Structure formats: C-alpha cells, structure tokens
Amino acid sequence: MIDGQGRQIGYLRLSVTDRCNCRCTYCMAEGGVPMLGHADILSFEELTAIVRAAAELGVTKVRLTGGEPLVRRGIVDLVRMVAAVPGVAEVAMTTNACLLAPVAAELREAGLTRINVSLDTLRADRYEKITRGGRLEDALAGLEAARAAGFEHTKINCVLMGGVNDDEVADVAGLAKGEPYDVRFIELMPIGPAATWPQGSFVSADVVTETLPELRFIGREGVAELYQAKSWAGCVGLIRPMSHKFCDGCSRIRVTADGRLKPCLHSAAEIGLRGLGHDELLAALRAGIAAKPKYHHMDENHASESARDMNEIGG
C-alpha cells in the first residue's frame, strides 16, 4: 500500500513483548519499569491476524522485536506462524542475542530469515555496564550460533554514544572485515532514558566515515546509507535519524506489544488494533498507513513526540 506521501509501505515491525533480559542505559530505566501484564500482550493468534491483514495490504517483511523477543515464551512457534502467512517473504528479528545460541537453529528451521544483533561494544566490562548486567560472551556466542545455523548477512546494530563507545568505531566496524556482516551505526535518539542525556552523548554518524576514510559510499537501503571498503567481506551502514532526515526512505509501520499501531516511531499517534475482526483490521491498518507523517521533528525539538520508550515500541 502507498501512504499519503507516496511511500510504498511493505514492512511491519511487531513488538512481541516489552520485557527484556537486559536494561540498556539508553533504552530502559534501571528499576521499577512498569511492565505490561500477560493479558495485555497480544497473543500469537492476535499477532498473526495482524500480520495476515498487513500482508493483504502489501506487507512482505515482518520484523519481530521488543523488548527482547527471545524472552517471549514460544517465540519459535510464533516465527513459524508468521512465516506461514501468505505474502510474507521475510521474517526477521532484532535481538540482543544473549539468549540466541540455544535457539538459533530452531528459529532458522521455523522460517526466520534474517537476524539483527544489537552490539554497542566489544569490551566485556563496557558491555556489562551498557546493558546493566548482560555478558558480551553470550551475545558473541549468539552471533556465532546464527552464522552456524545458516543465517546470512546478519546485521549488527551499534548505537553511537558520545563518551561511551564512540572510541570503538574502528573495532566494531572491523567485524565486517572478515565476515559478511552489515555493521550499522545508529545515532542515539532522544527517546526513553536517553531523552534526558547531555548533548555530548548525541554524536553524528560522521564519526564513522571520519574514523574510517577507506569506506566508500555504495548506495542506500531503506533508512540506511551503505559503505564498503576494498577487500572487506561485509559493509557498514549509517542510520542518522538526528543529523539527516531519512524519512523519505521509510517503508515501515509498527505495532506495540499491547496492540497499538504506530504509523511513525516518533509520533504520539496510535491506533488500537485489539479486538478487531479481519475487515476492521484492514481498515485500521489502511488508516494508519494513510496517517504516516512526512517526517519526524526530532532534530528541531531534540525530543521524540512518542509517549513510549523503545522497549515498548520495538526499535
């Protein structure tokens, strides 16, 4: 389906839980985060019904995210259900990968096609601090298990944080030298706990091309600019919500774990999908796609207009 700005919407991001085994400093508050109750979270049947309606409207790619999708019990079954929906060609997942190693092969067998692993540092002590308790070795084991299970072109997402990990650009990008990983540097966004972080935390992704002048621009893919260096197996992507407007390349809609359609990550607009029959779901999705704003206003306001944190929406 085409939205009001002429963009083809083919990509649905489903948050399958707001819970997480980590507490990344920029994403979730350390303690006392109010969590949805089990009854508030969409069931697998409800999630699949939304995917079925979205696929009828032209969605071909579904990403399962959260919170941490791997903490949702039965996630392999959900992957199987979503992958079986007619029209769905790609089922991807965004994960911190700490719980991935034991289930990577099962996920692949169930129909998961792509994995994005969030990895902001390659230093174990830093990893523990950023994730508040996560273990780098678990995440790296997950990444390796994904490779062994046959997942290709795995993306590695690294959020750039001034004074926290911006000295590690060369090391993290270096993961793409020997393996065909797509290492993506994402500018920190003022949403969730990061909304109150000092200005110096928000570094432009220019730091990546400045640190690695051998990178050559090879094109755009959705909201990312892609770069590659001679003889590297993989590539480097820059996602710059803060320093550049990328909204003209946006093809996505999002659904929160409690069943609210968000036409834009950074807008407060939401449409309730819970309890709707198939035709009503189609109408609600059509309305949401039509209501997608032209672009976000984060760079002008230095604030997201979304009333929710990233673990609730799904990044």
Q: Identify residue 61 by its one-letter amino acid code.
A: K
Q: Does 67 bind ligand SF4 (CB under 6 A)?
A: yes
Give the N- to C-terminal CA distance of the chain in Å, as an integer. Answer: 22
| Structure tokens that stand for 117 in this block | 């692993």
Based on CB atoms, which residue is closest to ligand SF4, 113 or 157? 157
From ligand SF4, ligand SAM, none, which one binds at residue 186 (CB under 5 to 8 Å depending on kind)? ligand SAM
Coil, helix or strand at residue 166? coil
Q: Does 232 bind ligand SAM (CB under 6 A)?
A: no
**How many Cα neighbours within 13 Å face the side chain of 205?**
25
Stretch that binds ligand SAM, among 4-12, 209-217, 260-268, 307-315 (CB under 6 A): 307-315
Q: Does 66 bind ligand SF4 (CB under 6 A)?
A: yes
Taking CB under 6 A as the criterion, which residues in 85-104 touch ligand SF4? Answer: 96
According to DSSP H, which parts of the chain are helical?
Answer: 44-56, 75-83, 104-110, 124-131, 136-148, 169-173, 175-178, 206-211, 278-290, 298-301, 310-313
Based on CB atoms, which residue is closest to ligand SAM, 71 or 281? 71
CB of 232 within 8 A of CB of 183? no
Q: Does 312 bind ligand SAM (CB under 6 A)?
A: no
Q: Does 118 bind ligand SF4 (CB under 6 A)?
A: yes
Q: How far is the CB of 157 from ligand SAM (least distance, A)?
A: 4
C-alpha 16, offset from chain centre: 12
* Percent composition of the chain: helix, strand, coil (DSSP 3-state, to 5): 35, 20, 45
From ligand SAM, ligand SF4, none, which one binds at residue 65 (CB under 5 to 8 Å depending on kind)? ligand SAM
Q: How far is the CB of 116 from ligand SF4 (least distance, A)?
A: 11
Binding site for ligand SF4 (CB under 6 A): 20, 22-24, 27-28, 66-68, 96, 118, 131, 310-311
